[in-house]
Amino acid sequence: MAERLIQSIERAADILELFLDFDQELSVKDISVKLGLSKSTVHGLIKTLEYRGYLQQNKDDLKYRLGLKLFELGNRVSHQFDLGKIARPIIKELVDELKETVHLVVFERGEVIYIEKLDGPRALRIYSQVGKRAPIHCTGVGKAILAFQEEEEIERLLSNSDLESYTEYTITDKEELKKHLLLIREQGYSIDDEEIELGLKCVAAPIFDHHGQVIAAISCAAPKVRMDNLRLSEVSKQIQLAAVSISQSMGYKTKPAHV
């Protein structure tokens, strides 16, 4: 690294990051041993961090734990990581490139909620609108989210759903849907092929947070006549790349292997 790093700040950061792996309280000796630093060096750093509110000392055993200042900073970071704010420029770029409608949804209580929708130049009159809820079993965004849940959660969600039929193409059999979800998980994106609305085809990909949990999905919707196999391949790649970009901006570390 070309920039000159300040050793004392690096060591202070090392102390704070110890609590990522050791969530219990740590003594000066614990920190000294784990970081390979002298007790006198650790003591000086800890006292400075304590003074600034980044560490707190337990007066009973004299060990240290993370302080409230980090909680305040964490809350500020979480506000900065606003999904809609992060995704908006990516969605706009996607619409400019694909010339189709793009949606962003979040997952809540077994349904998806549309929080962003940007129409392409050939806007569609479709069911989606910001604030509207939609089922997870027959929408591209819903299936993209459902497929990346834990197996037990998929079972729970499906057991609490009647898999209502919206068109003749809606998957209403739970076992068939579970096989379909395995394919989605394998390829990294989902397709709604007239499952919620006749004549409409959607391609969607999941969005992950910094814990690696699927929290949202992004999709491109177009009339089926404009979504042949060649176009579908192009759109699916762009949607996945957009989902990866949003996920990484939300703190997700691992890039999905599909892209």
* pLDDT exceeds cutoff 90 at 191: yes
Structural contact between residues 183 and 148, judged by C-beta atoms closer than 8 angstroms:
no
Give pLDDT, residue 257.
Answer: 46
Give pLDDT, residue 246.
Answer: 93
Give pLDDT, residue 253.
Answer: 80
Between CA 150 and CA 94 the distance in angstroms is 29
> What pTM does this model have?
0.68
172 pLDDT band, cuts 50/70/90, is very high
pLDDT in tens, 41-79: 999 999 999 999 999 999 899 999 999 888 888 766 665
Give pLDDT, residue 126.
Answer: 65
What integer best gives the mean pLDDT of the chain?
Answer: 88
Question: What are the helix (H) ranges across the chain?
Answer: 7-21, 28-35, 39-51, 68-80, 83-98, 140-147, 151-159, 174-187, 229-249
Higher-scoring residue by pLDDT: 124, 223: 223
Give pLDDT, residue 2.
Answer: 44
